[in-house]
Amino acid sequence: MNDYTVISSRVRFARNLQGFRFPSAMGEEEAERATALVLSALQKRGLTGFYMRDLPETVRRVLLEQDLISKELYSAKRGAVATAEDDKFSVMVLEEDCLRLAVVEKGLTLRSAYDRLSQEEVAISSAIPFAFDKNFGYLTACVTNLGTGMRASVMLFLPALERAGKIPSLCQELSAMGLTVRGVLGEGTDSEHSVYQVSNAKSLGVTEEEIIAAVTKAALQLSELELSARRIEFNRFPHAVENRVKRAEGMLRSATLLSYGEMMQALSAVKEGVSLGILLERGDLDDLTVAMRPAHVEALAGKTLSREERDFFRAEYVRKIFTK
């Protein structure tokens, strides 16, 4: 049974170009040369690259909702983004570093994500040398990324732990282990609808293998704690939990207008209901969390929509899934 605790895994490498300054110190001419150099190398790897200045606002919003670009690159007038055909591998160009290479996969799959990212990085580095120091490892704009330049993160759904008030103490425990907890959209963001990212806090003085092992272990422990908290709550208040779950399912089956926040709140209850055996398993719930964001809804509709039109489209789309 899908317990809907672990949502996805992400591995990211921060890299800079040998012979170039960090993006924040680049003038326009150097930035243009660096971007063109990187995009040329990425295109040879089969990635489709786009200059940020050429992307329409709607496309930028879709990429941001997919976590393929950061808030900083979303607002940038320069730089670029490149994605693989399956959207699992992407590269941000001239964000904080010259390159931010990342692979995102469903489930607790840090190992396979890391393996793919390593293969891509080796191939790209053969065309464009990366800035590296024998003492400090890969040179990065932020000192916390020195060394491996690697950030491994797992996205988890932790509503029961959140309701029990356990998140702050867990964050402190993870911090003592060299790990950090962030919101769904990364550094500087809050949790959104009980979704959190756990990741390594540093990349200097640790190996890539150690990072993967530590983050994987933490994700498994958090998942077990979350399931235990759900079971305790259900055992104490069975009728209240079942009522909340079934009311949420009823909303998703019948609502005419559905805001993103309302949908996420209802989905949260339904996912818990599946994990507790109250509802039958569904495999497509986590996909809706991205597919039903505002920019994605407009992309599916093929036009700009008002808030009410988006809510109507979202409700209709979700109803079809829940009445299959």
Active-site positions? Answer: 12, 96, 100, 142, 144, 151, 182, 187
Task: Please answer whether residues 17 and 98 qualify as being in contact, where contact means their C-beta atoms are separated by less than 8 angstroms.
Answer: yes
Residues written for the chain:
324
Closest-CA residue to 278 (of 253, 242, 230, 226):
242
Helix (H, G, I), strand (E, B) or coil at 94: coil
Residues β-bridged to residue 192: 195
CB atoms within 10 A of CB 91: 28
| Chain centroid offset of residue 204 CA | 23
Q: How many angstroms separate the Cα of 130 from the Cα of each of 70, 91, 105, 123, 192?
A: 22, 15, 25, 12, 35
Alpha-carbon gap, residue 229 to 62, rounded angstroms: 34
Q: How many angstroms separate the Cα of 322 from the Cα of each of 1, 45, 202, 258, 312?
A: 18, 39, 42, 14, 15
Q: How many angstroms separate the Cα of 169 from the Cα of each of 74, 81, 91, 242?
A: 33, 37, 34, 28
